[in-house]
């Protein structure tokens, strides 16, 4: 169910939109392999008509499941846009798309939700990453293998 409203309804009064949007409508599943959304987006929005466009304000909340970028441990997080504001102009380069007198807010909300994704999700800021198995190591296993680097080979050249 898309999140749409009729522009003609705004001529009489402001609109209040509240509810949940199924996460499938946002089409987020292929954007980031470390972030998974399974629960619906909760929204509470107020829509008002201005002289030159439409102003939408309110809050958006989306619970997500993240995998830690260092240790791959899953942990919950919430994207919370408490003072979300969107101006939709009637004219110009960024004008709002009106189809059959209706405006669909889903593409705009989707863009802002994606921009709010954590860039490098961590289960804990002090996460050390994957733990290495220590029980199978022998004393000589920790030595750095000797290999020549490109710089050491260049240092051997005589000009």
Q: Tell me the whole-structure pTM to 2 decimals.
A: 0.75
Region 20-27 average pLDDT = 92
The 3-state DSSP composition of the chain as helix, strand, coil percent (nearest 5) reads: 20, 35, 45
Region 133-138 average pLDDT = 62
pLDDT digits 0-9 by tens, 42-94: 999 999 999 899 999 999 999 999 999 999 999 999 999 999 999 999 988 88
Report DSSP state, residue 134.
-
- Give the per-residue pLDDT at 66: 94
Residue closest to 26 by CA, chosen among 42, 9, 41: 41
Domain boundaries, the chain: 4-121
- Give the per-residue pLDDT at 29: 81
DSSP annotation string for 22-49: -HHHH--TTT-TTEE--SPEEEEEEEEE
Whole-angstrom distance, CA of residue 89 vs CA of residue 103: 12
Q: From the CA atom positions of the chain, what is the Rg in Å?
A: 25
């Amino acid at each position: 169910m898309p999140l749409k409203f009729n522009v003609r309804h705004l001529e009489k009064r402001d609109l209040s939109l509240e509810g949940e949007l199924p996460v499938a409508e946002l089409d987020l599943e292929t954007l980031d392999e470390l972030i998974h959304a399974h629960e619906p987006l909760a929204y509470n929005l107020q829509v008002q008509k201005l002289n030159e466009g439409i102003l939408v304000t309110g809050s958006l909340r989306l619970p997500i499941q993240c995998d830690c970028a260092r240790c791959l441990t899953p942990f919950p997080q919430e994207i919370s846009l408490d003072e979300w504001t969107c101006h939709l102009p009637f004219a110009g380069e960024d004008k709002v798309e009106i189809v059959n007198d209706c405006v669909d807010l889903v593409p705009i909300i989707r863009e802002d939700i994606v921009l709010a994704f954590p860039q490098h999700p961590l289960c804990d800021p002090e996460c050390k990453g994957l733990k290495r198995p220590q029980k199978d190591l022998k004393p000589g296993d920790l030595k750095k293998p000797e290999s020549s680097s490109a710089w050491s080979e260049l240092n051997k050249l005589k000009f």
